[in-house]
Amino acid sequence: MFFGNKRKKHEASDRVPPNQNVTTTFPVLHTGNVPYYEDIAKWNLQIYGLVDAPKLYSYEDMMKFPQTNLLNDIHCVTGWSKLDVNWQGVLASDIVKDVGIKPNAKYVILHAEEGWTTNLAIEDFLKETSLLAHSYHGEPLTPEHGFPLRGVFPHLYFWKSAKWIRGIQFTEHNHPGFWEQNGYHMKGDPFKEQRFSFD
């Protein structure tokens, strides 16, 4: 008799969530248009909602924060995963420290160009791997991958990692973002396969 110990193709491993396939490419995925900034001085990031001190950061302000370098894996809900992705940027928790949040701030809405949004719980935003990234493998993000700034929340499906981020809003209630209004999961943990809200 044969007792195979080969893993089933779609079984999860420690690093690769169930029903994901590892790719070495870096696919580009989004709805809408890629924004191009001719003058980075015209870009800003607004932090508002249930915060003590609302802020409007310039690109230069973002560069003055402590800079963090992280290596992590990303998992797209369409089925690809990419391992050992290297990002540079500002920890989301450092932004929270700077503005201070009210006790009733329980959720975050990330606002991107063209009104695209996504939502996450404050504890997901504050995770030690949650980054606002301006660079990928030491180089500024390319326009298609989110220049000048994108979220990176590697413990959640990659759609939560808003590209072209322009606003971070702290709220008391959980407001579904663009894909979440279209049936995607409110949390989106890839290891629990939280792809759709009816899962």
Ligand X SMILES: Nc1nc2c(c(=O)[nH]1)N[C@H]1C(S)=C(S)[C@@H](COP(=O)(O)O)O[C@H]1N2
Residue number, 172 or 199, with CB nearest to ligand X: 199
Task: Rank residues 51 and 165 by Cβ distance to ligand X and give the closer one.
Answer: 165
Q: Least separation, in Å, of the C-beta of 125 and Mo ion?
A: 19
Q: Which is nearer to ligand X, 68 or 118 (CB)?
A: 118
The conformation of residue 190, written as its DSSP 8-state character, comes to G
CB atoms within 10 A of CB 154: 22
DSSP states of 8-43 as a string? PTTS--SSS-TT-EE-SS-----SSPPP--S-GGG-
Residue 112 contact partner, candidates Mo ion, ligand X, none, CB within 5 to 8 A by sort of partner: ligand X
Q: Is the CB of 164 or the CB of 170 nearer to ligand X?
A: 164
Q: Which residues contact 8 (CB under 8 A, 6 or more apart)?
A: none
Binding positions for Mo ion, rule: CB under 5 A:
29, 76-77, 159
- Shorter beta-carbon distance to ligand X: residue 134 or 145: 145
Tokens of 83: 């391992």
Contact set with ligand X (CB under 6 A): 27-31, 76, 112, 116, 145-146, 158-159, 161-164
Residue 162 binding: pick among ligand X, Mo ion, none (C-beta 5-8 Å cut-off by kind)? ligand X
Look at residue 30 and give the partner it binds from ligand X, Mo ion, none, a contact being a CB closer than 5 to 8 Å depending on partner kind: ligand X
The least CB distance from residue 142 to ligand X, in Å, is 9
Closest distance of CB 98 from ligand X, Å: 23
Q: What DSSP state is assigned to residue 199?
A: -
3-state secondary structure of 197: coil
Question: Pick from Mo ion, ligand X, none: which does 148 bind, CB < 5 to 8 A by kind?
Answer: none
User: Is residue 1 classed exposed, middle or buried when 0-12, 13-18 and 19+ CB atoms within 10 A define those classes?
Assistant: exposed
Nearest Cα to 178, choosing from 132, 111, 123? 111
